[in-house]
Amino acid sequence: MKYFVFIVTFLISASSFAQLSQKRVAPKEVKPVIIKNIKYSAPTSEMGFVVARDLKTDTIIWKKQVYKVRYNKDLEQDVQDVFIDSLTLLGNYLIIHTENNRNYHLKIN
């Protein structure tokens, strides 16, 4: 019986530790901006990129890297990741906002 209690306690502790050791949650999906049958999106699979896709043909028109994250090799990568968290339109510019509260402007017309 003591052996069983030890195993159960160990498994609960290991599960709790695994939850605590997760550094960040997955980035949220960003609502795309659609203008004249072109969808501008920020895929979470490609950090720092914006993609323009033709909605009629479903083909990529262009893909641009807006920023790069410079990683400190002494820190874990996942806590240094910076994802785009919103896209908005302002005139002829796509405003790209990131998790670390930076804005980038990309001329689209």
Of 82, 36, 43, 88, the closest CA to residue 64 belongs to 43
Residues paired with 107 in a beta bridge: 93
Where is average pLDDT lowest: 7-11, 73-77, 85-89? Answer: 7-11
pLDDT at 68: 94
**pLDDT score of 98:** 96
The pLDDT score that the predictor gives to residue 22 is 56
Radius of gyration of the chain (CA): 21
Return the CATH class of domain 23-107. mainly beta
Q: What percent of the chain has pLDDT over 90?
A: 63
* Cα(44)–Cα(30) distance, integer angstroms: 8
